[in-house]
Amino acid sequence: MAEYVQIFDTTLRDGEQSPGATMNVEEKIQVALQLERLGVDSIEAGFPVASEGDFQAVRRIAERIQDSKVVALARCEKMDIERAWDAVRVARRPGLHVFLSTSDIHLRYQLRKDRQEVLDWAAQMVRFARQLCDDVEFSPMDASRTEPTFLFQVLEAAIEAGANIVNIPDTVGYATPDEFGELIRQIRNSVANIDKATLSVHCHNDLGLAVANSLAAVLAGARQVECTINGIGERAGNAALEEVVMALKTRADRFGVETRIRTELLYPTSRMVSRITGIPVQPNKAIVGANAFSHESGIHQDGILKDKRTYEIMTPESVGWGQTSLVLGKHSGRHALKDRLEKLGYELTPEDLDRVFQRFKALADKNKDVYDEDLEAIVEDEVLRVPEKYKLVYLHVTSGSVTVPTASVKLEIDGVEHAGAGFGIGPVDATFQTIARITGTKAKLKRFAINAITGGSDAQGEVTVRLEANGHEVVGQGTHPDVLVASAKAYVNALNRLEYRKRYPLQIKEEM
């Protein structure tokens, strides 16, 4: 019987640290519920001490999740650990994840402590965490650059203090597969009590080796992999969950292990995370990219037509790829809509479903068919929004080859309507300039992208903007059949996210 590798998903913690990827509480809950359906063993829900918003998100996820373990991250500080425990203690299966730097470069320049101090500190804080929670994971941050003998001592002390999982982070993506695999083998051979703990790995992708390093670790005996959907995370990101899982499944002959992941939900989960974070998936991305199962070469097409196995080592269906369904129209009812949304991974309250149903009916009256992508866009608009300080009421734009682009905008700000008009280089610029003038904001536009989310000239337009202000970078999204309205909604959404970030600032950002 094959051994299991546990999948520890940190999309909601490390993944959210991607620039501009901050999620609000409702968005985090929807992602967490989808991760549970996907079958992940552990969900690292956040870093509760970072902000009140993070604490509330972890607490609410802990209340909702039934099957997966809900884990909160904490530095080796009593305040952090107590805050993390307060957030997850309501979970059916709570876990604490504590970490402390161990590499000489971190000890010298970041902690300003010697090895003995760190060794004692780690053991003391793991012991404290274990007094609160039966499930404690310890990570020696920057483990791949830590002197091996000292690393072994820290791990042994952590396990002795009560850690039942020890995680080896390649924090800066420095390791190569051969040396990382060898490090895991050395740990198994040199840490006397390693048999009392699960050996885990957490790899970053700075050199593009996160997945390769994770797989090398599995071959060497690691039995938990920490990863994120679409590989999002700090800097170049983390090991991509979908790539790790499908490598283990497709090459079971090589790895000899299994996971509990329902692989047919990988693509829908990838779509959800991409929409909510505003981080697009590159077309040539393995497993979930738009071109992952496309064949343009004549030789490849000929082979696929004769036998798909000639150029496909896995089926599109095995990871959730398939044709978009035209299942709903103007005659479809609430039950059909609710069922379809659940299949897409969204659990809505009756009140939220009412709002989505009204938008669905309005769109169905205009367009004969409503696609899955349309439904996702409606849910994004109606449910997964941050509290709205600003709300778009009205937009009128005049533009053309012989006309100066002009935008007239009416906004609701804290419940009070404000109107204004202005010019711009183009219709989008005029719209954004006018909104900025009405709101008195001075955010810098870092990115603007338009995508037709379904086919045809009547397709809904999806606009993504990235704004930066006061050291915060956020992503805003808007959808509408009129791309100018979608642009205005995206800009307003981003402004609301900046306001949300002011209210719940990320006081501390940490990685593994």
**277, 294, 310: which is the final residue of a domain?**
277
**According to the 3-state scheme, what is the secondary structure of 33-88?**
HHHHHHCCCEEEEECHHHCHHHHHHHHHHHHHCCCCEEEEEEECCHHHHHHHHHHH
The reply to whether 178 and 31 lie within a common domain is yes
8 Å CB contact between 225 and 213:
no
Q: What's the confidence (pLDDT) of residue 157? A: 98
Residue 302 included in any domain: no
Residue 307 included in any domain: no
Report residue 70: phi and psi, to 5°: -110, 120
Q: What's the confidence (pLDDT) of residue 300? A: 47
pLDDT digits (tens, 9 = 90+) for 442-489: 999 999 988 776 666 666 788 989 899 988 888 888 888 899 999 999
**What's the chain's average pLDDT?**
89
Residue 156 included in any domain: yes
> What's the pTM?
0.83
The candidate with the shortest Cα–Cα distance to 322, out of 273, 283, 276, 265, is: 265
pLDDT digits (tens, 9 = 90+) for 130-160: 999 999 999 999 999 999 999 999 999 999 9
Cβ of 166: how many Cβ atoms within 10 Å? 27
The reply to whether 248 and 358 lie within a common domain is no
Q: Which of 72-76, 260-264, 281-285, 377-381 has the lowest mean pLDDT?
A: 377-381
The reply to whether 228 and 261 lie within a common domain is yes
Residue 304 included in any domain: no
Q: What's the confidence (pLDDT) of residue 219? A: 98
Decide if pLDDT at 318 tops 80. Answer: yes
The candidate with the shortest Cα–Cα distance to 465, out of 492, 436, 427, 441, is: 492
> What is the Cα–Cα distance from 434 to 423, expressed in whole angstroms?
8
The reply to whether 20 and 128 lie within a common domain is yes
Torsion from C-alpha of 20, 386, 372, 60, nearest 10 degrees = 100
pLDDT digits (tens, 9 = 90+) for 21-67: 778 888 899 999 999 999 999 999 999 999 888 999 999 999 999 99
Residue type, 76: C
8 Å CB contact between 248 and 263:
no
Alpha-carbon distances of 7 from 4, 202, 213, 408, rounded to whole Å? 9, 11, 15, 51
> What is the Cα–Cα distance from 196 to 159, expressed in whole angstroms?
7
The reply to whether 420 and 437 lie within a common domain is yes
Please report which confidence band the pLDDT of residue 301 belongs to, taking 50, 70 and 90 as the band edges.
Answer: very low
Residue 315 included in any domain: no
The reply to whether 430 and 356 lie within a common domain is no
The reply to whether 270 and 345 lie within a common domain is no
**208, 242, 277: which is the final residue of a domain?**
277
Q: What's the confidence (pLDDT) of residue 471? A: 80
Encoded tokens for 315: 């089926």
Residue 511 included in any domain: no
The reply to whether 196 and 269 lie within a common domain is yes
The reply to whether 52 and 160 lie within a common domain is yes
> What is the Cα–Cα distance from 153 to 277, expressed in whole angstroms?
39
The reply to whether 216 and 360 lie within a common domain is no
Decide if pLDDT at 167 tops 70. Answer: yes
Domain that holds residue 472: 390-503
Q: What's the confidence (pLDDT) of residue 286? A: 95
Residue 346 included in any domain: yes
Please report which confidence band the pLDDT of residue 231 belongs to, taking 50, 70 and 90 as the band edges.
Answer: very high
As for how many domains the chain has, the answer is 3
Decide if pLDDT at 504 tops 80. Answer: no
| Residue % of the chain over a pLDDT of 90 | 64
Decide if pLDDT at 304 tops 60. Answer: no
CATH, residue 451: 3.30.160.270
Q: Which residue has the higher pLDDT, 107 or 17?
A: 107
Q: What's the confidence (pLDDT) of residue 88? A: 98
The reply to whether 36 and 122 lie within a common domain is yes
Residue 293 included in any domain: no
**241, 257, 277: which is the final residue of a domain?**
277
Q: What's the confidence (pLDDT) of residue 156? A: 98
Report residue 306: phi and psi, to 5°: -85, -40
Rounded (to 5) percent helix, strand, coil in the chain: 45, 25, 30
The reply to whether 344 and 202 lie within a common domain is no
Please report which confidence band the pLDDT of residue 82 belongs to, taking 50, 70 and 90 as the band edges.
Answer: very high
CATH, residue 198: 3.20.20.70
